Structure 1
Amino acid sequence: METCWVICPGGKLGDGVSSSNVALESAAWAVRENARILGSTSVGCALMTSTGDVFTGCNVEHQYRSHDIHAETNAISTMVAAGHRSLVAIFVVAERSRFTPCGSCMDWIFEFGGPDCTVSWQRCPGGQISSFKASELMPYYPR
């Protein structure tokens, strides 16, 4: 299942059109350029709130790896700091052969997006987009 969100004036997304996640894709790849990495993988993330606002985040790695901030939690934290509490879609990008949001990031996605939140990811700009409901990625998540 793929959803296309069209960017509207004021940084909000418009009505969905099926085929791709154009606006979130663009925002995620753009913010990925700001990632601070010590390893080898830059990650970007864009999310859409229930009101259509878009927030982004990138990974910020720390010399003590337990302090790393993942792109998804960065975007969600930015959303919360702006006064929002609900997301409906999240789009993650990284140039890796295989990846999905990690279990910790999925906890945050479930916390603010619930089981019906659309979780999408892409491995290269303009490449194939994989999209699932959060509940499809973690069908036994406690509720």
Structure 2
Amino acid sequence: MGTGEFVNGEPSPLELASIAWRARENARVLGKTKVGAAVLADNGIVYAGCNVEHKFRSHDVHAEVNALTSMITNGGTRAVAIAIVSKREHFTPCGSCMDWIFELGGPQCIVYITNSEGLITSEHPASALMPFYPY
């Protein structure tokens, strides 16, 4: 998914989060938590994803994984940053999603998290969210 022109050729954290908020609107949830994600790849393109829940819950696709695999599908090779959005008070990517972030972005991939449009709640390198990850 190409997202248009950005200042200095890449999106700001708020622009990345805005793309994630738009993707979140397409979430297919059986519960109540919609999540959106947007990945900035090393090729400068942003790839978006949302959570897609399945009636046999072990098959749910998390927004982070949806965005990261869309990046690979469309020719991106490495995630530089990922914005994850949800209307929950406190959250971080789950362990499985962190595995994907480390695999496709590495410990330096910046993870932006927000629960409110128009702001970034927190910003961390992936290595800060899982400091003992065996990368």
TM-score (ref. length: structure 2): 0.91
Instruction: Tell me the residue number matched to 2:9.
Output: 14
Please show how residues 1-143 of structure 1 align to structure 2 within 5 Å: 9=5, 14=9, 21-143=13-135
Identity %: 51
In 2, the alpha carbon distance for the partners of 1:50 and 1:84 equals 7
> CA RMSD, aligned part only?
1.9
Shift of residue 15, structure 1, vs aligned partner: 5.2
Which structure's relative contact order is higher, taking Cα pairs within 8 Å and 6+ residues apart?
Answer: 2
| SS class of match (2:101) | helix
**Unaligned runs of at least 5 residues, structure 1:** 1-6
Shift of residue 85, structure 1, vs aligned partner: 1.4
TM-score (ref. length: structure 1): 0.87
- Describe the shift of the 1:13–1:65 C-alpha distance in structure 2 as closer, same or farther (beyond 3 A): farther
| SS class of match (2:9) | strand
What is the count of residue pairs matched by the alignment? Answer: 133
| SS class of match (2:76) | coil
CA deviation string 1:47-71 (max 9, x = no partner): 1001211000000000011000000
In 2, the alpha carbon distance for the partners of 1:80 and 1:128 equals 26
Which has the larger share of strand?
A: 1
In 2, the alpha carbon distance for the partners of 1:140 and 1:30 equals 33
Equivalent position amino acid for 1:83 in 2? G
CA deviation string 1:109-142 (max 9, x = no partner): 0001000000011011124420000001111000
- Describe the shift of the 1:21–1:45 C-alpha distance in structure 2 as closer, same or farther (beyond 3 A): same
- Describe the shift of the 1:15–1:48 C-alpha distance in structure 2 as closer, same or farther (beyond 3 A): closer
